[in-house]
């Protein structure tokens, strides 16, 4: 069985985050860039059911290939750790790739439309900030999910084929059982 080496990461607020967590499962998510509308659409589903996720003994840790300064403006108020990785060191270590298919795959188009509409509405109401037109690390990132046991063994993983190809909360809860 694959194992994840112990590491201490720093979230956007400067707090230390242990992966693996010695007392609970870790759902390590790799997203795209700060303010990514498609990523934000998915993260809303995580926020809505965060209490359920925690009750299942899972700690959410979300990685973006953006700097802490860029992320702070977009992730304030999220109830889980957000890790900046502007050099994509963790992406390389976990084999998370970038590809033009992230946005060009037909299955992502409805999610892009919904995400952009939601983002525009948020901007018009003064409740959001537009993402950079040239994000660090590029626009073509693919998502990935890893569920890591407290002892570091990898319980499950998923490498996305397009920008909205990740585990749902129901998938995550099922894998944690």
Please write the tens of the pLDDT for every residue from 110-155: 776 766 766 666 666 666 666 556 666 666 789 999 999 999 999 9
CA distances for 143 relative to 15, 91, 103, 125, angstroms: 24, 10, 11, 28
Going by CATH, does the domain composed of 7-176 fall within 3.40.640.10? no
The tens digit of pLDDT for each residue in 10-67 reads 999 999 999 999 999 999 999 998 888 888 889 999 999 999 999 999 999 999 999 9
Full 3-state SS string of 10-40:
ECCCCCEEEECECCEEEEEEECCCCCCHHHH
pLDDT for the residue numbered 164: 84
Q: What is the pLDDT of residues 64-115, one digit of tens each?
A: 999 999 999 888 889 999 999 999 999 999 999 887 667 677 777 777 676 6
At 176 the pLDDT is: 97
CB-neighbour burial class of residue 170 (10 A; exposed 0-12, middle 13-18, buried 19+):
exposed
């Amino acid at each position: 069985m694959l194992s994840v080496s112990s590491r201490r990461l720093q979230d956007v607020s400067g707090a230390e985050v242990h992966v693996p967590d010695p007392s609970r499962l870790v759902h390590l998510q790799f997203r795209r860039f700060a303010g990514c509308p498609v990523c934000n659409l998915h993260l809303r589903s995580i926020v809505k059911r965060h209490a359920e996720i925690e009750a299942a003994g899972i700690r959410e840790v979300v990685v973006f290939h953006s700097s802490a300064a860029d992320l702070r403006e977009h992730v304030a108020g999220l109830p889980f750790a957000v890790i900046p990785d502007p050099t994509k060191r963790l992406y390389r270590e976990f084999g998370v790739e970038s590809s033009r298919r992230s946005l060009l795959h037909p299955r992502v188009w409805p999610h892009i439309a919904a995400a952009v509409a939601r983002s525009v509405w948020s901007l018009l109401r003064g409740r959001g900030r537009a993402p950079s037109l040239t994000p660090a690390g590029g626009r073509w990132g693919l998502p990935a999910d890893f569920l890591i046991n407290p002892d570091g063994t990898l319980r499950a993983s998923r490498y996305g084929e397009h920008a909205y190809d990740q585990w749902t909360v129901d998938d995550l809860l099922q894998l944690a059982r």
